[in-house]
Amino acid sequence: MKLSYDKTADALTLKFKNKVIVRDEQIGDEVFAGFAKDGDLVEVQILDISESDKAWLTVDLVAKILGKSERTILRWIENGTLPAKKVGKEYHIDPEVVDDLAS
């Protein structure tokens, strides 16, 4: 996985595979996922990073990134393997932590 920041676009990109993106899907406010023809998740872009306090990922997105179930990600959060901050009914997970786990 490659993590990069485009200062001009003010976007954080997490690239998982070197495939051509054929479909983009908005998965959150200012968060987009790019998918390959075979349905694989290729990249996630978080736009307007400087407008937010800090970029974060959700449990479902982390599960897709790591190829695990959402239940596994929740277990990792509960046992402290994956640090996360609970905000309302969802968890916010630092992209850098996910990058470390993917490596």
Locate 52 and state its tokens: 């937010």
| Predicted TM-score (pTM) of this structure | 0.57
Residue with tokens 């996985």: 1
Chunked into runs of 10 residues, the chain (103 residues) has average pLDDT values of 83 90 89 93 85 77 91 96 89 88 78
Note the CATH number of domain 2-102: 3.10.260
For residue 80, which amino acid is it? G
Helix (H, G, I), strand (E, B) or coil at 59: helix
Domain positions in the chain:
2-102
Residue with tokens 């070197």: 18
What pLDDT score does 12 carry? 87
Could you give the CA distance from residue 87 to residue 9 in angstroms, rounded to a whole number?
Answer: 27
What pLDDT score does 75 carry? 97
For residue 43, which amino acid is it? E
For residue 7, which amino acid is it? K
User: Among candidates 77, 53, 63, which has minimal Cα distance to 16?
Assistant: 63
